[in-house]
Structure 1
Amino acid sequence: MKHLALCLALVAVAPAMAQPSPETPPAAPPDWSALAVADVEAVYAETRANHPGMHDPANPGFPALLERARAEALALARKATTAGGFDASLDRFTAVLNDGHAGAYATLPQELAPTIRWPGFVAAWRGDAMYVYKAAEGGPLAGSRIESCDGTPIADWVKTKVFGWRTGAEIAGAWWSMARIALVDDGNPFVRLPNSCRFVTYGKAEDRALSWSPVPDYYQEWRNGSINGDLLPIGLEERAPGIQWIALPDFQPDEAGNAAYQRLYADLAAKADAIRGARAVVLDLRYNQGGSSLWSLRVAESLWGNEAVEARADRRSAKTTVWWRPTAGNLEEVRGFARLMTEQGDAETAAWVAKLVTAFEAAAAKGETWYVEADEPAATGADTPDPAPLLTAPVYVIVPGQCASACLDAIDVFKLFPNTRLIGAPSSADSTYMEVRNPPLPSGMARAIIPMKMYVDRPRGNGEFYTPDIAMTDFDWSTQSFLKRIEADLGARF
């Protein structure tokens, strides 16, 4: 294949601050404003020096957008007096850039992080409306539609409370995965919380006052359930007669996840005949938020065959080129890719990255604006028929609303084959700025998000997302619910 998305840098968590000994007087509260101002200025400088958008001929407005992000974030940073204000200042910087592959995020230690509060229920966005997913005792009925809060339509609350501080207001999947935050108190002092909301249940409207309290222990489980359903471990399992289920929840795995992928690849090879003779194959992307596209590429090659995948991928991206920003900061990160691939036992990719490093170093030494990645020769000629795929059984790809970056790359490859159908939610989207690194910011409690390369003439453009062939608008996103829906589709189509 011509181009690989190697690795979306893992979100690094800052080490916890040292706890004072009994003899040590308590530390003074952090100067949140000073910390926020310094971090905003740092991420601005880091972005200006390294982001491909600063020199992108197709995006001449990026420098002005970056200036606006700095100005709006600094205006908030100067008023920050709490950890929530510090966090919100960086969020605004990211929201203005409106790209999940640019900006900054806080890594506040637990003892300083704001207390998250809820109104006694978890909301879920489906289609063009918000509903109660689950509620504590005495709360609104699950399934009730949330029409408005304090007299303002709920969609307007989402635009202000959520997408004033996060990216993706124009992306359907982002509403699916993040609209619920409109009814969560995350400590942002620059937004107000609603006092009451109107709930519509079986056509009857009722106004209810909201009471805010710290989230309970089960909140995270409910929140995850409202977006993704249950979490399956990386691996292959026959979950119904003739239905082979491949769970791919993580493309930035830790050591245990890496080992799980190695077992998965071995299982795919050992059970190749059973898989290719299956009634259906399910590729489950629930919980996936991107990472490295290498994991899904190898799964696709195991299913459809190396030659079939490579020929179609090369044809799809025949006009695509990759332009890297060969700056000192980006160069150091690229050097780490070869080490990472070696540690993960991928000698072939490590060798490819080593060649990239050499070319990158040469471009950086010359002070060049771009290193344009050289094309690899296509495996087949333009008029050569694509090799026949080894897998012709129906394939269902479960897509969650937060699916972006390498998760979208996976769908790009899976959808090269006509036997693939998408089931679930609309996906998220990304820009053509990719391959991020996360340098720490001066506070030690935040990191920047810096893309190092951009795709030119990528078939999937900026902000494009996938719409499911089978929309799962149910609140039940359990494995059993998906299995039932897939069985019904198989029965209707075959």
Structure 2
Amino acid sequence: MMVAAWTTSALAADANDWRRTAETDLDAMHDILVANHPAMVVAKDSAPFRAWLETGRVEAKKLLPAVRDELTYFDLLRFYAGGFRDSHIGAYWLKDPGRLKRPYIWPGFNLAWAGGGYIVTDHPPDTALPPAGAQLVACDGVPATALAHDRQERNGQDLTLDSQRRRHAFWLLWAGEGSLFLPPLKACTFTLSGGGPASSYALTYRPTKADSRPAPPARAQFGLSRWGQDGWWIGAPDMASDQAWKRTLTAVKTHLQAMRRARTVVVDVRGNTGGSGDFAYALANLLWGADMVNAGKPDLGPVVYRASRLNRDQLAAYLPQMKEINVQTGSAAILRRLLARYDEAIAAGRTTFTEEAPGRNQPLRPPPNPLRGQVIVLTDGACVSACLDLVDLFLALPNVRQAGTETDADTIFMEMTKAPLPSGHAGISFGHKAWVERPRGSNVSYHPTPGLSWTGNPADDAGERAWLAKAAGATP
């Protein structure tokens, strides 16, 4: 009895420690954003940020009584960060990531987002489970839409984007041990694909298995390859791998004349979650030539930087990391000039400084398009940040179409700053500059060109390639 009493007391004390830690780090997240985020000092697209900054902290503090360990501590921080609906604002773990692996259980079947509803996916025959094709109506009296809000939007997902609904539907009914947002459900009602009244099914949770989880979505593979009889395929799964980009750009340069004569060039950015937009311009300048890119690129307008010591020091840390491609595009020189602007603004006590958009040097007439065929940008729901910069640029150039599935979205607040929180367990990331006149507004995604939407299995790479050849009129 003495051991049991001591254990209970120790667990209660540990839970109190995590609650205090969560509250301290939550307040620090708030204060870091106030002192360093550009939405505090620009009007464009800043209203949602400012509204959640305070109300979100209040809502997060209501969750403090449920915090009892490091997993629920991080749930709370992620709830606050996710409420900004800004893909560049996030909480990240600083300790051993294995400690955040939460056990999950599932009800023996999964869901997919299709046709505006949550549909049961194929599963082994079992009359205790809703049949494949049945549509979720409600669980425990909560309608499907509200259920998704409670279990997924409060857990950091943005379900205003169809791409995120598709990506996260699979796990809607899963439960996480001790999760603030994913408790087990008792019963759900479904309408069956053949019609008739809704049917109720009791949920029986069980441990997950290898086949419980979906196959990972297809991802681009870095490099240049031939595609069919008269096409080329450029794989770009990220915007950060300097050496991989160097090899890819070298290959494009080697085969450039053949690519310019080709019927189709595919730029595959599936799985690309961003990095540096310099790579997009390096590729476009090769394919079309710098004059055409300069004439056609979107006019992003001026950039407003939030002048703070934290943002300045974060930018300075990038300088030693500059690689060959970045040097070729002049990024190192630009960064040094920005650091001087930061130092000047901070010394003068200013909270911002503005970099005007560079002049276009427009030619007397647009140069002829050197590419004979079409360019297809193949996207999926992972595409965000610098990947979206690539899509911005390429869709502004001649004879380019988007295929695949809807992209993710971001805000006008870009270029990452990271800062540890007082506990040392986690940190916060956010954008430190604002594209106040960017043509694409905050949280606007890109949808494929009509007729070029892939509705098949996200994991079926071969199927998607074969479909694209037919849909785009390419020669297989």
* TM bin (shorter chain): 0.7 to 0.9
**Equivalent residue for 1:277, pick from 249, 261, 282:** 261
C-alpha distance in 2, partners of 1:294/1:411?
Answer: 13
**Equivalent residue for 1:128, pick from 101, 116, 128:** 116
C-alpha distance in 2, partners of 1:206/1:181?
Answer: 21
Aligned residue in 2 for 1:216: 209
Q: CA deviation at 1:29?
A: 4.9
Aligned residue in 2 for 1:17: none
CA contact (8 A) 1:236 1:264 kept: yes
C-alpha distance in 2, partners of 1:280/1:199?
Answer: 45
**Residue 406 (structure 1) aligned with residue 386 (structure 2):** yes
Aligned residue in 2 for 1:203: 194
**Equivalent residue for 1:49, pick from 21, 35, 43:** 35
C-alpha distance in 1, partners of 2:400/2:180?
Answer: 46
Q: Deviations over 1:358-408 (max 9, x none)?
A: 122111221211110133222216xx4332232241222222123221121
Question: Where do 1:228-267 residues align within 5 Å?
Answer: 229-253=217-241, 258-267=242-251
Q: Deviations over 1:155-175 (max 9, x none)?
A: 332122111232423222222
From the superposition, tell whether residues 393 and 98 of structure 1 become closer, same or farther in structure 2 (CA, over 3 Å): same
C-alpha distance in 1, partners of 2:255/2:157?
Answer: 41
Aligned residue in 2 for 1:165: 155
Aligned residue in 1 for 2:5: none
Q: CA deviation at 1:326?
A: 1.2
Q: CA deviation at 1:183?
A: 2.3
C-alpha distance in 1, partners of 2:233/2:48?
Answer: 45
CA contact (8 A) 2:82 2:156 kept: yes
Residue type of the alignment partner of 2:435:
Y
Residue type of the alignment partner of 2:116:
D
TM-score using structure 1 length: 0.83
**Residue 486 (structure 1) aligned with residue 457 (structure 2):** no
**Residue 37 (structure 1) aligned with residue 17 (structure 2):** no
C-alpha distance in 1, partners of 2:201/2:61?
Answer: 37
* Larger Rg over CA atoms: 2
Residue type of the alignment partner of 1:369:
T
Aligned residue in 1 for 2:53: 66
Question: Where do 1:5-404 residues align within 5 Å?
Answer: 29=14, 31-58=17-44, 59=46, 62-106=49-93, 109-133=97-121, 135=123, 145-186=135-176, 187-198=178-189, 202-203=193-194, 207-217=200-210, 222=214, 224=216, 229-253=217-241, 258-313=242-297, 316-317=298-299, 320-342=301-323, 346-347=327-328, 348-380=330-362, 384-404=364-384
CA contact (8 A) 2:36 2:311 kept: yes
Partner SS, residue 260 of structure 1: helix
Residue type of the alignment partner of 1:173:
S
Q: CA deviation at 1:143?
A: 5.4
Q: CA deviation at 1:454?
A: 0.5
Q: CA deviation at 1:266?
A: 0.8
From the superposition, tell whether residues 77 and 223 of structure 1 become closer, same or farther in structure 2 (CA, over 3 Å): farther
Unaligned runs of 5+ in 1: 1-25
Aligned residue in 2 for 1:12: none
Aligned residue in 2 for 1:425: 405
Residue type of the alignment partner of 2:84:
L
From the superposition, tell whether residues 146 and 491 of structure 1 become closer, same or farther in structure 2 (CA, over 3 Å): same
Residue type of the alignment partner of 2:144:
I
Q: CA deviation at 1:429?
A: 1.5
C-alpha distance in 2, partners of 1:307/1:392?
Answer: 17
Partner SS, residue 241 of structure 1: coil
C-alpha distance in 2, partners of 1:200/1:46?
Answer: 47
**Residue 475 (structure 1) aligned with residue 457 (structure 2):** yes
C-alpha distance in 1, partners of 2:377/2:199?
Answer: 39
CA contact (8 A) 1:251 1:295 kept: yes
Q: CA deviation at 1:145?
A: 4.1
Unaligned runs of 5+ in 2: 1-10
From the superposition, tell whether residues 476 and 95 of structure 1 become closer, same or farther in structure 2 (CA, over 3 Å): closer
C-alpha distance in 1, partners of 2:182/2:272?
Answer: 30
Q: CA deviation at 1:324?
A: 0.3
Partner SS, residue 317 of structure 1: coil
CA contact (8 A) 1:436 1:452 kept: yes
Residue type of the alignment partner of 2:467:
R
Aligned residue in 2 for 1:19: none
Q: Deviations over 1:310-357 (max 9, x none)?
A: 2211xx316x11000110000001112322224766352212211111
From the superposition, tell whether residues 298 and 195 of structure 1 become closer, same or farther in structure 2 (CA, over 3 Å): farther
From the superposition, tell whether residues 270 and 366 of structure 1 become closer, same or farther in structure 2 (CA, over 3 Å): same
C-alpha distance in 2, partners of 1:390/1:142?
Answer: 50
Residue type of the alignment partner of 1:216:
K
CA contact (8 A) 2:218 2:461 kept: yes
CA contact (8 A) 1:162 1:181 kept: no
TM-score using structure 2 length: 0.86
Superposition CA RMSD, Å: 2.9
How many pairs does the alignment contain?
454
CA contact (8 A) 1:126 1:473 kept: no
Aligned residue in 2 for 1:446: 426
| Structure possessing the higher relative contact order (Cα contacts under 8 Å, 6 or more residues apart) | 1
Partner SS, residue 439 of structure 2: coil
Partner SS, residue 240 of structure 1: coil
C-alpha distance in 2, partners of 1:136/1:407?
Answer: 38
Residue type of the alignment partner of 1:434:
M
C-alpha distance in 2, partners of 1:241/1:260?
Answer: 26
Q: CA deviation at 1:106?
A: 4.0
**Higher mean Cα deviation, 284-293 or 262-271?**
284-293
Q: CA deviation at 1:297?
A: 2.3
C-alpha distance in 1, partners of 2:429/2:171?
Answer: 22
Q: Deviations over 1:21-48 (max 9, x none)?
A: xxxxx9x957321221121111111111
CA contact (8 A) 2:135 2:193 kept: no
C-alpha distance in 1, partners of 2:215/2:111?
Answer: 8
C-alpha distance in 1, partners of 2:289/2:460?
Answer: 30
Identity score, percent: 29
CA contact (8 A) 1:121 1:133 kept: yes
Partner SS, residue 368 of structure 2: coil
C-alpha distance in 2, partners of 1:136/1:259?
Answer: 45
From the superposition, tell whether residues 371 and 472 of structure 1 become closer, same or farther in structure 2 (CA, over 3 Å): same
Q: Deviations over 1:194-253 (max 9, x none)?
A: 223445665267644333344334556x252xxxx3234211122422232212112233
CA contact (8 A) 2:417 2:432 kept: yes
